[in-house]
Structure 1
Amino acid sequence: MKSMQSWEKKNQQNQTLDNFKNEQKISLKSLKGKLTQDMEQFDSKSIENFQNFAAVNKSALEKVVQRLGNFGEYNKEKF
Structure 2
Amino acid sequence: MSEQHAAATASEIAAILGPTDEVVIADILRTGASAAEVQEAFARLEADDAVGRSARRGASARVVEVMAILEAAQIRPEEG
Which bin holds the TM-score, normalised by the shorter protein?
under 0.3
Which protein shows a greater Rg? 1
TM-score normalized with structure 1 length: 0.26
TM-score normalized with structure 2 length: 0.26
Q: Which has the higher helix share?
A: 1
